[in-house]
Chain A
């Protein structure tokens, strides 16, 4: 993919008109403010939310991206192998996302991304073998999600969508975090917490180093192979665990889970 092509895909995916349903998600911001935490600077919420989301979701974005990238570029492509691995990866994400509000929001946005591919990004005609493989995969996976045999979570679906469009894993992570942060700021505008000019100012100056830093920090992360039981106290085991997904903000979890308890609310999460 050349630079022009990549730039065009990035523009397309960062369009706020993209029908992903993200406009109904505040990722816990509405509940945060309602619970009396919104008196300080909005950037502290953005930083904490972005930090914990990066650390819990990016290993899944990266692994899903790897899986699909391997599928398109390997000689012996095995659709079943890809699908089974992706289903297992999503099972892990689902069992790690214990907050039911976040789980619901993630699934709603994930399936929207799959629909986006099948309805909008599918290649017009069978132009090449790898594009055909992609078309096959996305149709099959969407059917599985519809049949509730796969979860269709946001990070994993973002990983396969971006790999399918030819973006690198680094670009995919970076854009994912940017969109998360932008979503928070646009929710903050709708909640009347900040003005629209301020939101753009923050996006340009304050959000950028955070997105860059978090993406860099999580660069090599992976969910790892699934281990069922620790055999012995060994450093390798601890290290294997530590490179994976983690929740670093328990306060955010509680507040986000309490979203549905709000007497009145305008967002779905």
Chain B
């Protein structure tokens, strides 16, 4: 049965609850409503569960809302992936704008996604989707909140590309707004809020600086949070590599650049993890960089390669 228009707007609610029984990961909840789809293929490593976050038509359109809650308990290791990049369309191809209660969704209404995660003491979450790609004039808002217990392990990857390069799109979406907020035992350790849109403030000559000008020459920006014992090898490895970089004056920007900052809590007393940012001229090069940087994780969760699936 095709979904009713009301579901189309207010649907998108999903639940994932996974725990461990002996060496197995067991779902006690795995449900989703349009436009969200969840798919769980078989995993082969102990206590690992894999879920693909999908959406009908391969993306979200103006007015779509997704509300997902994820709980990881026991010693379960949950791997969340997407199949190809999440596309944000202005409107879904071949469809009229959705209506709710007879009223048409206003063009320009953002696609919205809210996901909250809890991870208990020995649990692990590997949120490693492909990047979000916003098409021309599309608008996307995402809020992700993580409540993790001390001893839990999380890897959170959040990234965005400049659009469909094949169609000449380079940072021509309307707005991208993304929040990642992480609480460790109830204490906020990170809140990253990124807002990408054209400048609102005109210069002396009356011109406005575009988003594309501000983000050039890169076409992909990524952010990675790493926290917890199961990520320590990766953190140590990346930190060592980062600290060995010595920047000499260059004439032109490099193909790919990255930074690493320790994630601290309280008055800077304790380091609890790391924050990595990467920018690359092509999404493919950033993908390759992550494949290599996250190789220890891929092995840990039984994937051949986190981004060359």
B-binding residues in A (CB < 8 A): 31, 33-37, 39, 43-44, 47-48, 51, 55, 91-92, 95-96, 98-101, 148-151, 205-206, 208-210, 213-214, 217, 226, 228-230, 232-233, 237-238, 241-242, 244-251, 253-255, 257-258, 261-263
Contact = CB atoms under 8 A, between A and B. Distances in A.
A96 B65 CA distance: 26
B24 interface: no
Nearest to B13: A233
A35 B204 contact: no
A251 B188 contact: no
B263 interface: yes
B248 to A, nearest CB: 5
Candidate in B112, B249, B260 with the most chain A CB atoms within 10 angstroms: B249
A246 B180 CA distance: 11
Interface in B238-263: 242, 245-254, 257-263
B267 interface: yes
B193 interface: yes
Interface stretch (B25-33, B40-48, B124-132, B139-147): B139-147
B195 interface: yes
B8 interface: no
Given A91-B188, A254-B258, A248 B203 contact: no
Given A44-B213, A249-B214, A51 B201 contact: yes
Contacts of A237: 114, 143
B145 A242 contact: no
A238 B246 contact: no
A261 B246 contact: yes
Contact of A261 (B145, B203, B247): B247
A51 B277 contact: no
A243 to B, nearest CB: 11
Nearest to B65: A233
Contacts, number: 163
B71 to A, nearest CB: 13
A154 to B, nearest CB: 16
11 contacts: A51-B199, A98-B261, A210-B204, A213-B202, A230-B143, A238-B143, A249-B215, A251-B279, A257-B260, A257-B277, A261-B242
A210 B200 CA distance: 10
A31 B259 CA distance: 12
Contacts of A217: 200-201
A254 B279 contact: yes
- Among A33, A91, A148, A254, find the residue whose CB has the most chain B CB atoms closer than 10 A: A254
A27 B143 CA distance: 28
B261 A245 contact: no
Interface centre among A230, A255, A262 (most CB of B within 10 A): A230
B277 A246 contact: no
Contacts of B290: none
Interface centre among A37, A55, A253, A263 (most CB of B within 10 A): A253
A119 B94 CA distance: 69
Contacts of A251: 214-215, 218, 221, 279
Interface in B278-293: 278-279
Contacts of B267: 148-151
Interface in B148-190: 177, 179, 183, 188-190
A241 B143 contact: yes
Given A229-B116, A238-B141, A261-B245, A248 B196 contact: yes
B70 to A, nearest CB: 12
B65 A98 contact: no
A35 B203 contact: no
Contacts of A255: 257, 259
A34 B183 CA distance: 36
Nearest to A252: B214
B237 interface: no
B277 A100 contact: no
A205 B114 contact: no
Contact of B259 (A39, A246, A254): A254
Contacts of A55: 195
A91 to B, nearest CB: 7
Contacts of B242: 261
A36 B188 contact: no
Contacts of A241: 143, 177, 179, 193
A30 to B, nearest CB: 10
A248 B221 CA distance: 12
B188 A95 contact: yes
Contacts of B257: 35, 254-255, 258
